[in-house]
């Protein structure tokens, strides 16, 4: 039997993943990302017959997806803020909500030059690398407790031309005693109670260290608040991604810990509360 055209291969893949109730859109993603194509690159090849190598690779990629591996890990890349980041099972797959967190920082700080930025729990480096490449005048530090994650972040920084500092350690420990204009973090915030509600591919492949936190998912926020209160570092503004049901608890935590700080919750494009900004200027002016 001869190899299919690209159009026929996509049709086969769509029917194949439908049997497992999976997303048909992933079948296009696997082709586009594997060969770094745009939609038009695929369209002009629709009636072209796949080579043996491409057909065998595509079948293997689709099978891996059906077997439960997220398509970004199958290919080894994920798009984020207009760039392509390397990913593997040592880091979370960057998601659109986190792009909105980055956009909030860039918009708020657009008129400020030479800022010092810390991305805590950087994972793939998506936040910190994006901020530095968008604003090359900013001095950006990436930290993570995971050596494997930092290796991914270092690869992404190198490939995307980001001039960043990378430090390994737990939370703020590797930057103790330093001062930052902005600290930003997408920390682990999922409660273990929510495991039964999560996609099995996430549980099976994404790093639990970067997903889950004790105290109903609030532990890292509590530790950050305590560390900043104890002046482990000096920081002017803190931006955090949060779970969509955590806004009240996180807002109360920081307002209680820092009575003079301004705490603002922001919704994502789906109108869920997904980000918090804490401004400490008045606290440090006391």
Residue 104: is it exposed, middle or buried by C-beta count within 10 angstroms (0-12/13-18/19+)?
middle
Task: Determine whether the annotation assigns residue 144 to a binding site.
Answer: yes
Task: Determine whether the annotation assigns residue 188 to a binding site.
Answer: yes
Task: Determine whether the annotation assigns residue 187 to a binding site.
Answer: yes
Pairing of strands 164-168, 139-144: parallel
**Using alpha carbons only, what angle is made at residue 130 by residues 128 and 133, rounded to the nearest 5 degrees?**
110
Task: Determine whether the annotation assigns residue 27 to a binding site.
Answer: no
d(C-alpha 204, C-alpha 220), whole Å:
23
d(C-alpha 152, C-alpha 198), whole Å:
25
Task: Determine whether the annotation assigns residue 285 to a binding site.
Answer: no
Chain centre to alpha carbon of residue 108? 20
Chain position carrying tokens 């922001």: 266
Task: Determine whether the annotation assigns residue 94 to a binding site.
Answer: no
Task: Determine whether the annotation assigns residue 4 to a binding site.
Answer: no
Task: Determine whether the annotation assigns residue 199 to a binding site.
Answer: no
The binding site consists of 121-125, 144, 186-189
Annotated binding site for S-adenosyl-L-methionine: 121-125, 144, 186
In the annotated binding site for substrate, the residues are 186-189
């Amino acid at each position: 039997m001869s190899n299919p055209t690209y159009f026929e291969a996509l049709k086969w893949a769509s029917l194949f993943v439908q049997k497992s109730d999976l997303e048909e859109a992933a079948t296009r993603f696997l082709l586009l990302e594997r060969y770094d194509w745009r939609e038009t690159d695929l369209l002009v090849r629709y009636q072209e017959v796949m080579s043996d190598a491409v057909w065998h690779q595509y079948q293997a990629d689709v099978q891996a997806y059906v077997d439960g591996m997220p398509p970004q890990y199958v290919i080894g890349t994920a798009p984020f803020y207009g760039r392509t980041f390397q990913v593997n099972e040592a880091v979370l797959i960057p998601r659109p909500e986190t792009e909105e967190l980055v956009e909030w920082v860039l918009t708020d700080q657009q008129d400020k030059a030479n800022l010092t930025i810390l991305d805590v729990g950087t994972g793939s480096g998506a936040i910190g690398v994006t901020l530095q490449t968008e604003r090359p005048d900013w001095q950006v530090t990436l930290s993570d407790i995971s050596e494997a994650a930092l290796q991914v972040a270092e690869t992404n920084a190198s490939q995307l031309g980001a001039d960043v500092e990378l430090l390994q350690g737990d939370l703020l420990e590797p930057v103790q005693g330093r001062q930052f204009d902005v600290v930003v973090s997408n920390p682990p915030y999922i409660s273990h109670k929510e495991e039964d509600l999560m996609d099995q591919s996430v549980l099976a492949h994404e790093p639990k260290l970067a997903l889950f936190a004790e105290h109903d998912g609030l532990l890292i926020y509590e530790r950050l608040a305590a560390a900043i209160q104890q002046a482990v570092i000096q920081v002017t503004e803190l931006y955090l991604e949060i779970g969509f049901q955590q806004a009240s608890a996180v807002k109360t935590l920081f307002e209680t810990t820092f009575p003079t700080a301004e705490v603002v919750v922001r919704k994502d494009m789906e109108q869920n509360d997904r980000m918090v900004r804490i401004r400490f200027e008045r606290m440090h002016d006391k």
